Amino acid sequence: MRVALPPPALRRWFRHATALAIFVLMVYLSARILRALSGCRPGAQSCTPEGPLPLQVQHKSGLLGAAGWEEPQCLGPQGMLGRMTRSFRDSLKPKGDVELSQYLAGWRELVRFLTPLGSAVAFAASEAFMKVTALEARVQGPDAAHYTSLATMAPWERRAGLLEPPGTAPGAPAQASGSRTLLLLHRALRWSQLCLHRVATGTLGGPDAGAQCGDAYRTALAPHHPWLIRQAARLAFLALPSRDRLLELACPAAGEADARAALARAAGILEQVYNRTQDLLARHGLLQLA
* pLDDT per position as a tens digit, 137-157: 999 999 999 999 999 999 999
For residue 282, what pLDDT band results from cuts at 50, 70 and 90? very high
Q: Confirm if 69 and 63 have CB atoms less than 8 A apart.
A: yes
Check pLDDT > 70 for residue 208.
yes
Q: What is the mean pLDDT of residues 111-121?
A: 82
Can you tell me the distance from the alpha carbon of 46 to that of 5, in angstroms, rounded to the nearest whole number? 47
For residue 275, what pLDDT band results from cuts at 50, 70 and 90? very high
Check pLDDT > 60 for residue 67.
no
Q: Is the pLDDT higher at 47 or at 275?
A: 275
Q: Which of 101-105, 159-163, 212-216 has maximum average pLDDT?
A: 101-105
Check pLDDT > 50 for residue 280.
yes
pLDDT at 93: 94
Say what percent of the chain tops pLDDT 70.
Answer: 72
pLDDT tens profile 234-259: 888 888 888 898 899 899 989 999 99
Average pLDDT of the chain, as a whole number: 78
Fold of 71-283: Glycolipid transfer protein, GLTP (1.10.3520)
Q: Is the pLDDT higher at 273 or at 209?
A: 273
Q: Confirm if 221 and 234 have CB atoms less than 8 A apart.
A: no
Check pLDDT > 50 for residue 37.
no
Can you tell me the distance from the alpha carbon of 189 to that of 218, in angstroms, rounded to the nearest whole number? 14
pLDDT at 34: 32
Q: Say what the pTM is.
A: 0.75
Q: Which residues contact 182 (CB under 8 A, 6 or more apart)?
A: 100, 135, 150, 153, 277, 281
Q: What are phi and psi of 204, to 5 degrees?
A: -60, 135
pLDDT tens profile 68-83: 567 889 999 989 899 9
Q: Where are the domains of the chain?
A: 71-283
pLDDT at 25: 42
17-43: buried (b, 16+ CB within 10 Å) or exposed (e) per residue? beebbebbbebbeebeeebeeeebeee
